[in-house]
Amino acid sequence: MSESGRPDVSIVMPVFNKLDLTRVCVDSLHDVPVDNTFELIVVDNGSSDGTADWLAAEQAAGRLRTVSNPENKGFAQGCNLGAAAARGRYILFLNNDMEVIPGWLEPMVSCLDDDPGVAVAGACLIYADHTIQHGGVAVVDYLANAKPEIGGTHLSYRKPVDMPGARKNQEMRVVTGACLLIRPEVFEQVGGFDEKFWNGNEDVDLCLKVGEAGWKVVYLGDSLIYHYESQSGAQRWTRTQDNIDYLNELWRGRTGVDFEHHGDEDFRPTPDNRIRPWVGPQLRSHLSGADRADPRASVIVLTWNALDYTRQCAESLLAHTDPRHELIFVDNGSRQDTLDYLAQLERDHAQVQVIRNGKNLGFAAGNNVGLAAATGQYLCLLNSDTVVTAGWLERLLNPLATEPRLGMVGPVTNSITGMQQLPQVNYDQETLAGLADFAAQVAGENEGQVNTALWIVGYCVVLRRELLLRIGGLDEGFGLGNFEDTDFCLRSFLAGYGSAIVPGCFIHHFGSRSFVENKLDYARNMDEKFEVFRRKWDLADDARETGDFQLERLIFRGFVPALHFQPLPASPHYSPLPLRSWQADKWIAAGEDDFQAGRLASARRIFEAVLARLPDNARAANDLACVLWQGDGDEQAARRIFREVLARDPGNEDARWNLAELGEQVAAG
């Protein structure tokens, strides 16, 4: 039981005859060990094949509870009756034609435990031949039909379970009711299953109601279950068209759709397609002001000397930023004149906070200090050589507040690379005479526009805190700066979040003033940091010249938390979520695949990430030692790790065998 005395999960299983299938399913539920506690509630919909007697015996043995329904009134009513009897933190609706296997339940429970925005989670369901029965559900508008209608279509149907991308965790509009975990308060909020449906489309309707109420629905390829589909008998299909008609009566024109079907294999994604990667949080927020309607933002300005530019930036912020937002200046070891100025700012303005690092931690690490200290729902990283203009922050916050799929946005400017630089500006870029009028003109000409982009340059970027919880901060491996913003955008994209440029928000940018002030070679630093970026993402040697970042390969692999999450400094506002055993096994398996493929640097980072959370994980330690030994040639470090594993567990055969092999190789050398 959980700490509250409630089971973690109430499994609700409606049945109608087919006792042979129910036996297999119930036995597998009790035989397969799980980390979460559960109760099993079987709703008998008037079975006549001995099911009632068998359930009575199982209940007497304490293996389940029975809810008896004198007649079969369908899946929806059976589920609602079971839900009314449920005591668990979550309710799992599960068909009786299932057979569970190790690791089936924990990913779904972890999803709802860790992500407070998710209300429904579903699993990958496979046939006995290891092809997919359910890989999530797309909502399709079948325009080619004689009578156009919407419906749910199972993704990856009958494709091999190891097909690339088929088992990626994704946010969707719908998952099948054959295996659907839901928060009981949300189930009650949306009115449960609509009993006007008869064994079809009640799950589509439920998920659409959940989404309409502002919750997320997630398909979890991490969870795998055998499904011997639609074994309930002829009654399963008696009202198929009635169900379709009722679904369309309720939802056609009310919900968006993911694809339009124009005949044959012509499925076209719509602009409102909601299928995207889902990456679970790695950090838990302890901030109380997490209300979705809270507009509060935190503006983080990293300073390193260049006082004249810092002063202009600060004055513009105080003039043009609502004082409800907080201004955090993080100083990276500036001289005394800058420190004195920042101290005066903090004394004079209640919304200003100054953090003094005492030395230059680099651009990424310095900003991470600010991110860890920030309390806003939205977080802005702003260079100290910028000058903001009237209404700047509201223009950047509006798209984030209205489009949940956006992870971050940026403004346009006079001096930067790429799409954010305007071809010409009509003000004096040295004295800034005319800046206010020009910014107002840009705002008027581009009011409400938002342009999708893959890259947002880090001179000014606003992101939602939700993104930070999933991908972490900037990668501190980039040192003094450059390409950590490109890296952050790529990680955000792989985690399923879009980026956009707001052309109505203009911010002046002097450009690289800290590098100039501190006499650093900007061009050389750019070259060095791109090489860091290239190696991290395993790009071709000429990637900078060609611009080919091999996005298709990166998308197929997706966001790998062990590789792509960047921890923040210790903070009272956040704490790392625990790395559960099933997650550690998944991370380690990915590292072992990298090791076998010769991606040794990637494998090493994964094993080190596991050990940072679980220092006594013997499998990760053994694997890391093998990388150090066979990849880096560091036999001494490998031998030390093998011995540490054996000291904790003298019976560990992997460590003993590896240590013997290492000894023989050294002796032979």
The number of domains in the chain is: 3
597 and 457 within one domain: no
Exposed e or buried b per residue across 379-390, where buried means at least 16 C-beta atoms within 10 angstroms of its C-beta? bbbbbbbbbbbe
User: Tokens 């209205």 appear where?
Assistant: 402
616 and 542 within one domain: no
SS3 state at 432: coil
CATH of the domain at 373: 3.90.550.10
Which residues span the domain enclosing 636?
Answer: 574-668
Model pTM score: 0.91
The closest of 543, 426, 442 to 483, measured between CA atoms, is 543
The closest of 88, 86, 68 to 78, measured between CA atoms, is 68
CATH of the domain at 664: 1.25.40.10
DSSP string for 165-223? TTT--EEESB--TTEEEE-HHHHHHTTSS-TTS-SSSHHHHHHHHHHHTT-EEEEEEEE
CB-based contact 523:516 (threshold 8 Å): no
Angle between helices 522-536 and 484-494 (to 10 degrees): 30
Q: Is residue 658, in this structure, part of any structural domain at all? A: yes
pLDDT at site 669: 43
216 and 156 within one domain: yes
pLDDT along the chain (669 residues), means of 10: 81 96 97 97 95 96 95 92 97 97 97 97 96 96 93 95 91 97 98 95 98 97 89 59 96 96 93 95 83 71 95 98 96 96 97 96 95 96 97 96 94 92 94 97 96 94 97 90 90 96 97 58 79 89 87 91 95 95 95 93 95 96 94 90 93 91 65
Q: What are phi and psi of 354, to 5 degrees?
A: -115, 130
The closest of 138, 381, 407 to 279, measured between CA atoms, is 407
Q: Is residue 448, in this structure, part of any structural domain at all? A: yes
167 and 58 within one domain: yes
650 and 535 within one domain: no
Q: Is residue 397, in this structure, part of any structural domain at all? A: yes
- Could you tell me which residues come within 8 angstroms of residue 39 by beta carbon, excluding any fewer than 6 positions away? 7, 9, 10, 11, 64, 65, 86, 87, 88
pLDDT at site 511: 79
- Could you tell me which residues come within 8 angstroms of residue 46 by beta carbon, excluding any fewer than 6 positions away? 16, 69, 70, 71, 72
pLDDT at site 523: 76
136 and 14 within one domain: yes
Query: Domain end: 252, 277, 302, which one?
Result: 277
In angstroms, the CA 389 to CA 323 distance is 15
pLDDT at site 2: 58
Strands (DSSP E) along 316-396, which ranges? 326-331, 352-356, 378-383, 386-387
CB-based contact 470:284 (threshold 8 Å): no
> What separation in angstroms does the CA of 223 have from each of 121, 123, 125, 134, 612?
10, 5, 8, 12, 25
pLDDT at site 482: 82
In angstroms, the CA 172 to CA 119 distance is 12
Q: Is residue 321, in this structure, part of any structural domain at all? A: yes
232 and 146 within one domain: yes
SS3 state at 259: strand
536 and 463 within one domain: yes
Q: Is residue 517, in this structure, part of any structural domain at all? A: yes
137: left (phi over 0), alpha (psi -120 to 50) or beta: beta
Query: Domain end: 277, 303, 322, which one?
Result: 277
CB-based contact 80:5 (threshold 8 Å): no
Sign of CA dihedral 286, 288, 291, 293: negative
SS3 state at 340: helix
User: Tokens 């912020």 appear where?
Assistant: 317
662 and 597 within one domain: yes
Q: Is residue 594, in this structure, part of any structural domain at all? A: yes
547 and 627 within one domain: no
117 and 262 within one domain: yes
Q: Is residue 4, in this structure, part of any structural domain at all? A: no
pLDDT at site 292: 40
Number of alpha helices (DSSP H) and beta strands (DSSP E) in the chain = 24, 27
In angstroms, the CA 484 to CA 499 distance is 16
In angstroms, the CA 564 to CA 566 distance is 6
Angle at CA of residue 121, ends 216 and 401, nearest 5°: 10
Q: Is residue 1, in this structure, part of any structural domain at all? A: no
The closest of 495, 502, 568, 78 to 280, measured between CA atoms, is 495
Query: Domain end: 248, 277, 306, which one?
Result: 277
In angstroms, the CA 282 to CA 613 distance is 11
The β-bridge relationship of strands 149-154 and 38-45 is unpaired
pLDDT at site 1: 57
524 and 454 within one domain: yes
